[in-house]
Structure 1
Amino acid sequence: MKSLVSAIAVVSALFVSQASAQDVASLNDLEFAHIAYTADNIDIRYAHLALAISTNPEIHAFANTMISDHTAVNAAALGLLDKLGATAQDNFFSQALNEGAEEIIDDFSKLRGAEFDVAYAANELAYHRTVNGLVENTMIPNIENDEVRALFQQGLEIFKAHEGHAEMMVKAVNK
């Protein structure tokens, strides 16, 4: 079980190694927007799977928060893109995120009970740490549009809280 949890956490973090931070930093604001939108949608998918598989009330509460918060941030992003008359642009990194998510979802769908809860919690922590680091250290410093940067900064505050919640959830399911 520990090897499966480790493998899932590694897969979650691997998408960053598929491209260097320098490669991501060279993307434009619309590509950053697509990465963020993709990352949010992936976490929403993980949450729906958690609601379907887990019976743990803490996992359900976290998953419902992920659905609510990530949906709200995506709605704000789409609203800003509409206001700017722009469309998010698919890119190599968004595609890598989706490929990694498919593997994780496939692995998750085979688990039940405490095994699922431990794997889901570990993945959520690794996923939020990885994405938050990328947003904070690579994307935000390279975003050109002030409104886009402000939206990313607001989202980062929310997702850092998710990271803290995920850390507590990992401790709770590993007791």
Structure 2
Amino acid sequence: MKIKTLTLLGLAMLGIGSALSAAAAETLSTSDADFLRKAAVAGMAEVEQSKAAVQLSSNEKIKAFAQMMITDHGKANDELSALAKKNGWTVPAELDSDAQKKVGDVRNAGAQVDTVYARNMVKDHDEAVALFSNAATNVTAPSLRSFAQEKLPTLQQHSKKAKELPGAAK
């Protein structure tokens, strides 16, 4: 009898725990959802452009930076996807048309691949720093705001390093 009561009590506690974790999922405002989408696409675009640069560039500085982008942005993309999944949010599965164009520009740059990639990295990281700076103070979903705050220093460092790449200066 005691075992049956304890089993039922345990199952009830599991049910309460599940209901509480479902209720704990954060909801997104329209601007939060916009940040989530932009951050996800920007991260995927960094990885795809960098994969092309690793393949096509012969410059070791470009290749090293590109590999760092693949590693750092790949990890951040995974973290953002896990955060979204945990909260029932949707992140884009593919690049938007602007991001696809940037990737195509790097892939089709020929002898100018280093310059095209470096300039894209400067522009993209300046935009990402602005996006994440705004999100770090204005996003209302606490875990998404924490994500932006945590990633901002890395993006600022990437921006600085991108500006030092060969071909980055206009």
> Which residue does 2:110 correspond to in 1?
112
- CA distance 1:105–1:152, change in 2 (3 Å): same
- Equivalent-residue separation in structure 2 for 1:58 and 1:125 (angstroms): 15
Question: Which consecutive segments of 4 or more residues in structure 1 shift more than 3 A?
Answer: none
Any residues of structure 2 matched to 1:64-143 within 5 Å, and which? 64-84=67-87, 86-88=88-90, 98-113=96-111, 115-137=112-134, 139-143=135-139
- Equivalent-residue separation in structure 1 for 2:146 and 2:67 (angstroms): 25
Per the normalisation by structure 1, the TM-score is: 0.71
Instruction: Give unmatched runs, 5+ long, in structure 1.
Output: 1-25
- Equivalent-residue separation in structure 2 for 1:132 and 1:88 (angstroms): 22
Check the 8 A contact 1:47/1:63 in 2, yes or no: yes
- Say whether 1:37 aligns with 2:40: yes
- Equivalent-residue separation in structure 2 for 1:168 and 1:142 (angstroms): 30
> Which residue does 2:145 correspond to in 1?
149
Q: Higher relative contact order by CA 8 Å / sep ≥ 6: 1 or 2?
A: 1
- CA distance 1:50–1:68, change in 2 (3 Å): same
Instruction: Give unmatched runs, 5+ long, in structure 2.
Output: 1-28
- Equivalent-residue separation in structure 2 for 1:66 and 1:78 (angstroms): 17
Aligned residues: 141
- Equivalent-residue separation in structure 2 for 1:133 and 1:40 (angstroms): 14
- CA distance 1:59–1:125, change in 2 (3 Å): same
- CA distance 1:57–1:133, change in 2 (3 Å): same
Root mean square deviation of aligned Cα? 2.4
Q: Secondary structure at the match of 2:126?
A: helix
Per the normalisation by structure 2, the TM-score is: 0.73
Of structures 1 and 2, the larger Rg is shown by: 2
Shift of 1:106: 2.6
Q: Secondary structure at the match of 1:88?
A: coil
